[in-house]
Copies of this chain bind each other. A is one copy, B any other.
Amino acid sequence: MNKIHIAIVDDHALFRDGIRMVLNQIPEFEVIYDTSNGHDFIDFIKTTPVDIVLMDIEMPSLSGIETTLQSLELKPDLKVIALTMYTDEMHYMQMMKAGVKGFILKKSNKFQLKQAIEEVFSGGNCFSQEIIQKLASQSIGKRANDPDQLTDREKDVLNLICKGLTSKEIADKLFISIKTVEVHRANILRKTNARNTAELMIWAVKNNLITLE
């Protein structure tokens, strides 16, 4: 029987070691590679086929989103499952857009992980219940109030603002000019009637556009 070949990309070494052992304990799985950064992973898949990748979203240097995009450009059949700590709409949307086949929260247990990998390997999707419910409740909450809708790009910027990034850092992350970020900021403030970053964050939390946990 052919084992499912799994790679792990996560900057937390302890977590990586742990997942590796958990998965290797399951007969049909074999972790063939793990690394702390996206660059190494991109190099790796150039030479070695991989069935499933468990990809951390929050990583320094090359983010999980960027790594996924570049990986799928090289190997369009690669099945990427995003590992995330939080339930965060922006990450979710970006990763979906990037082409991941599923999400797993780090607080899931090994049975859920096993199920997710099997599901995705056999061609399906896997999105954790909590994330789906959260998204659902958010889209309901959105229709209820707020006449001034933010555009997709504005939501991207809003999310990064609420993570504590400066305009410069947001510009670098989104590969756009700081001036563009400032325009988005100004438009967001106008639409939300917020006077500054703090009021903006309050608005964002109250309108369920971001999560602070």
Contact = CB atoms under 8 A, between A and B. Distances in A.
Interface stretch (A66-74, A90-98, A200-208): A200-208
A144 interface: no
A213 interface: yes
Contacts of A104: 14
Nearest to A201: B201
Interface string A152-170: 0000000001111110000
Interface string A30-71: 000000100000000000000000000000100000000000
Contacts of A166: 195-196
Given A25-B21, A212-B206, A13 B198 contact: no
Copies of this chain, tallied across the complex: 2
A194 B205 CA distance: 19
A101 to B, nearest CB: 18
A17 interface: yes
Interface stretch (A107-115, A117-125, A174-182): A107-115
Instruction: Identify the interface centre among A20, A109, A206: most chain B CB within 10 Å of its CB.
Output: A109
A206 to B, nearest CB: 7
Contacts of A183: none
Contacts of A136: none
11 contacts: A13-B110, A14-B22, A14-B107, A15-B18, A18-B18, A60-B213, A164-B198, A165-B198, A198-B198, A205-B212, A206-B213
